[in-house]
Amino acid sequence: MSQISPSDEAVSPPLRLALILSDSAQAQTRAEELREAHPWVEPEEAEILVVVGGDGFMLHVLHEMLDKGISKPCYGINLGTVGFLMNSLHGDATVLERIHAARRIPVSPLRMHATTQSGEEFSYYAINEVSLLRETRQTAKLEIRINGRVRMGEMAGDGILVATPVGSTAYNLSANGPILPLGCRMLALTPISPFRPRRWKGAILPESAEVEFRIREPGKRPVAAVADQKEVRDVRTVRISTSTEREMTLLFDPGFTLEERIFAEQFQV
């Protein structure tokens, strides 16, 4: 019987990685070192994107993929301040070794459909949250519908937001909203400085829920809708639903997953 030599065995081709650098001074300073660490390919040819910067830059990259209908796993290397969506820069393992050992976290974005007072329509994705905010000193007044049914005829306050589990530790947490565990398939509906009903703390909704806001007195009390960084002013109605068909994937080092960071946020002293 003939023997198979090691050279005859099937060898898996190496992962095709693309390096995506932010324009920050820190990222540019480390650019040469990172370029020498791996034989990088162009983003269009890559299986995985290695994103170097901060949370804001990672969101920018994810939104670019959403807008183009592309879905590639992203491994972030933090050179920003918080780095909630990123991995630590430090470590002895190579980038390729860290990616092979990384845990994959699925992230489903929200899709916002906004109609303005003049009848214009806009549609944007949000990975963290969709916020409705008053534009003037006048309190915003909103009607809240869930799956077509009116759940609150009028909420008065500075605004309201719908957050994903990923975004539940961002603006939502600052507005005293709940932190949602990853994989819970839920959304946080959180009022922003509510005036009426005064004691209303918001609600936790299933991911399948469609949320609709209708602006009361929009001429007197104009409201803007913001899907992460994209703003639509003078809205009349806003519909928000989870876009499961545009699911994204983030990669995290073992022991430093996004899930672990969510736990850590809840037990900070």
Strands 74-78 and 248-252: parallel
Question: Which DSSP letter does residue 14 get?
Answer: P
Whether pLDDT at 128 is above 60: yes
In the beta sheet, which residues pair with residue 51?
A: 20, 76
Q: What tokens were used for 108?
A: 């489903």
Residue 170 marked as a ligand binder = yes
Residue 173 marked as a ligand binder = yes
Q: What are phi and psi of 144, to 5 degrees?
A: -115, 125
Pick the range with the lowest mean pLDDT from 2-6, 69-73, 113-117, 228-232. 2-6
Domains 13-108+247-266 and 110-244 share a fold: no
Residue 121 pLDDT class (50, 70, 90 cuts): very high
Helix or strand run (H / E) with residue 122: strand 121-126
Annotation: CATH topology of 13-108+247-266: Rossmann fold (3.40.50)
Residue 44 marked as a ligand binder = no
Residue 169 marked as a ligand binder = yes
Highest-pLDDT range among 19-23, 94-98, 165-169, 237-241: 237-241
Cβ atoms within 10 A of the Cβ of 123, count?
Answer: 12
Compute CA 173 distance to the chain's CA centroid, rounded to the nearest angstrom. Answer: 14
Chosen CATH of 110-244 out of 3.30.530.20, 1.10.10.10, 2.60.200.30, 3.40.50.970: 2.60.200.30
The mean pLDDT value for 233-243 works out to: 98
| % helix, strand, coil for the chain, step of 5 | 20, 40, 40
Residue 129 marked as a ligand binder = yes
pLDDT reported for residue 1: 43
Residue 60 marked as a ligand binder = yes
Contact 20, 50 (CB under 8 A): yes
Question: Which DSSP letter does residue 15 get?
Answer: P
Pick the range with the lowest mean pLDDT from 38-47, 55-64, 139-148, 177-186. 177-186
Residue 38 pLDDT class (50, 70, 90 cuts): confident
Strands 149-163 and 186-196: antiparallel
Residue 192 pLDDT class (50, 70, 90 cuts): very high
Q: Where are the domains of the chain?
A: 13-108+247-266, 110-244
Whether pLDDT at 140 is above 80: yes
Instruction: Give the number of C-alpha atoms closer than 13 A to the C-alpha of residue 223, restricted to the C-beta side.
Output: 29
Q: Which residues are catalytic?
A: 55
pTM: 0.83
